[in-house]
Structure 1
Amino acid sequence: MSLDTQFVTLLSMIGMGIYFGAAFDTYNRFLVRAKRKVWFVFINDILFWCIQALLIFYVLYESNQGEWRFYILLALLCGYSAYQALLRNSYKRLLEMTIYWVNKFSEFLVKLGALLFIRPIKGLIALIITVILLIFQVLLKFGNPLLWLAKYLLKALISIVRVIFYPFTSTASWLWKTIPGGVRSPVEKFFDKLAGIGKKLKNTINKLLKKWTNKS
């Protein structure tokens, strides 16, 4: 190897040593070993070390075609030691700050989604229920001849609602994918309950329609 290649390799391995220290602290921060099962920690440790080894070898291959020298190990240890002595505390503070602001931003997105989408949807559901009840009141007064008209009105209402809310649902779907799973969990539970209520309401309406049709 030429001196230039050796110098580039030395700097690359020092940089990888610093990177490894930061990656190891980041990995431990998100793993939370005390709260995980032994087999889960074991599998993740194996994956982490394999990935780091592959990354180091890739950088080494790009630097000197993968030729191994003793000073490469020393450069890795030097970079890792430099990280531990000079950069670790600053990096961990930066990591915690980043996690904090990402969580805050995720909470903001959830609240914004609730304000822009969930509340209007709840209001729309209340409006639909009111319209359905009014239609049933009309049916009870005037009888079966208006049953077909009620069905067409409901279909038209549902189509109009879908067209009006299509931009909102598309935007909500895109925003939903950007929110972390831990933050989405409470909202998903809310929609599951809402879906259950909607299903019960649909079944009740179908039963009433069948009874009314049979009577007529």
Structure 2
Amino acid sequence: MTLNVQFLTLWMMFVSGLGLGVLFDGIRVLAGQLRVPRWTQPVTDLLYWILATVLIFRILYWSNQGQVRLFVFLGLLIGIVLYFTAISRPVVRFMLFCINVVKALYRFLVKTVQMVIIKPIIALFRFFILFLGFLATVAIFLYKFVLQCLYPFWKLLAWLTRPLWRPLLKHVRIPRWLTDIGFWFARIWAWLRRWF
């Protein structure tokens, strides 16, 4: 192994130590912000160490064909110690700032969607229901008015044509289903008149 490869490996392990610190703080901050239950912490730690091991060995294999030497652990240790002594707090603050920005953007988007899309649709729906109610009220009023106006003429017409249709009723049998429909129509009409 040449000196250049050794320095490259030392540098990559140093950067990997910094990366492991960032990954550890990221998982810790996300778990705190998402209020993850405490019983998931061992599972999270196990997943962290599996991911860290895979990443370290992939980087080690890329830098020196996977040869494990003392300076590999030295580089990792220096990176981790430097991260947790000097860089951890600013990184955690930056992560919290980013999470707060994402939360603010999410709240802004939710309020924008409510103001621009949902509330106008609800208002249009309410207006449509009120308009239909108004039209139904006007239609029922006009229907009653026309019935009241035509009622004397209907009575007169029924009285004038009574000699024609009265003998026919003796020979006509109304089917049962037709009387049932008439009964239900009369009940619906009575209900409508009670409400409108």
Q: For this structure pair, what is the TM-score category when the shorter chain's length is used for normalisation?
A: 0.5 to 0.7
- One-letter code of the match for 2:123? G
- One-letter code of the match for 1:88? S
- One-letter code of the match for 2:43? I
TM-score (norm 2): 0.65
CA distance in structure 2 between the aligned counterparts of 1:91 and 1:107, rounded to whole angstroms:
24
How many residues align? The count is: 148
**Unaligned stretches of 5+ residues in structure 1:** 144-210
Percentage of pairs with the same residue? 29
TM-score (norm 1): 0.59
Structure with more relative contact order (C-alpha pairs < 8 Å, separation 6 or more): 2
Cα distance, 1:75 vs structure 2: 0.7
Cα distance, 1:127 vs structure 2: 2.3
**Unaligned stretches of 5+ residues in structure 2:** 144-183, 190-196
CA distance in structure 2 between the aligned counterparts of 1:118 and 1:212, rounded to whole angstroms:
39
CA distance in structure 1 between the aligned counterparts of 2:84 and 2:62, rounded to whole angstroms:
26
- One-letter code of the match for 2:63? S
CA distance in structure 2 between the aligned counterparts of 1:83 and 1:115, rounded to whole angstroms:
45
Q: Does residue 78 in structure 1 map to residue 78 in structure 2?
A: yes
Q: Structure 1 132/42 Cα, relative in aligned 2: closer, same or farther at 3 Å?
A: farther
Matches within 5 A, 1:1-216: 1-32=1-32, 36-137=36-137, 140=140
RMSD: 2.6
Measured against aligned partners, the alpha-carbon deviations of 1:86-113 in whole angstroms (never above 9, x if no partner) come to: 2112212212222222222221111211
Partners of 2:29 and 2:92 within 8 A in 1: no
CA distance in structure 1 between the aligned counterparts of 2:103 and 2:36, rounded to whole angstroms:
22
Look at both structures and tell me which one has the larger radius of gyration over its CA atoms. Answer: 2
Q: Structure 1 88/213 Cα, relative in aligned 2: closer, same or farther at 3 Å?
A: farther
